[in-house]
Amino acid sequence: MFGSMTASKSQPYLPGRWALALLLLWCLQACTPHRNTISNGDARRNNARIQKQNRDAISSYPTYSVQQYIDRFKPIAVQEMNLYGIPASITLAQGLFESGNGNGELARVANNHFGIKCTSDWNGKNYFKDDDAHNECFRVYDHPEDSFRDHSEFLKRKRYAKLFELDKNDYVGWAHGLKDAGYATNPKYPDLLIGIIQRYHLDQYDRSESDIQKIKREDRVLAQINQNIGQATKDSLTRSTPGNNLYTVKTGDTLFNISKRFGLSVDELKALNNMADNNIKIGQQLVVAK
The Cα 9–Cα 6 span in angstroms is: 10
Predicted local confidence at residue 5, as pLDDT? 38
If asked whether residues 83 and 220 sit together in one domain, one would say yes
Name the CA dihedral angle for 141, 257, 90, 154, rounded to a multiple of 10 degrees: 40
Using alpha carbons, select from 56, 57, 62 the residue that is nearest to residue 103: 62
Predicted local confidence at residue 79, as pLDDT? 94
| Residues with Cβ within 8 Å of residue 62, at least 6 apart in sequence | 68
Predicted local confidence at residue 183, as pLDDT? 82
Q: What is the pTM of this model?
A: 0.67
| Residues with Cβ within 8 Å of residue 32, at least 6 apart in sequence | none
In a domain, 15, yes or no: no
Predicted local confidence at residue 66, as pLDDT? 96
If asked whether residues 186 and 66 sit together in one domain, one would say yes
Q: What are phi and psi of 274, to 5 degrees?
A: 55, 45
136 forms bridges with which residues in the sheet?
A: 129
Instruction: Give the model confidence (pLDDT) of 23-63 as tens digits.
Output: 555 444 443 334 456 899 999 999 999 999 999 999 999 99
DSSP string spanning 184-231? B--TTHHHHHHHHHHHTTGGGG-----HHHHHHHHHHHHHHHHHHTTT
If asked whether residues 148 and 282 sit together in one domain, one would say no
Predicted local confidence at residue 81, as pLDDT? 95
Q: What is the extent of the structural domain holding 252?
A: 246-287
Mean pLDDT of the chain: 82
Predicted local confidence at residue 27, as pLDDT? 46
| Residues with Cβ within 8 Å of residue 271, at least 6 apart in sequence | none
Per the structure, the count of domains in the chain is 2
The Cα 252–Cα 104 span in angstroms is: 5
Residue ranges for the chain with pLDDT beneath 70: 1-37, 230-245, 274, 290
If asked whether residues 224 and 257 sit together in one domain, one would say no
If asked whether residues 257 and 215 sit together in one domain, one would say no
If asked whether residues 258 and 217 sit together in one domain, one would say no
**What is the chain's alpha carbon radius of gyration, rounded to the nearest angstrom?**
23
Predicted local confidence at residue 19, as pLDDT? 53
The Cα 162–Cα 183 span in angstroms is: 13
CATH number assigned to the domain comprising residue 255:
3.10.350.10
Predicted local confidence at residue 120, as pLDDT? 79
Predicted local confidence at residue 42, as pLDDT? 92
Predicted local confidence at residue 263, as pLDDT? 73
CB-neighbour burial class of residue 158 (10 A; exposed 0-12, middle 13-18, buried 19+): middle
Burial 55-81 (b: 16+ CB within 10 A, else e): eeeeeeeeebeeeebbeebbebbbbbb
Element (H, E) at 129: strand 126-129
Instruction: Give the model confidence (pLDDT) of 130-158 as tens digits.
Output: 987 899 999 999 999 999 999 999 899 88
In a domain, 222, yes or no: yes
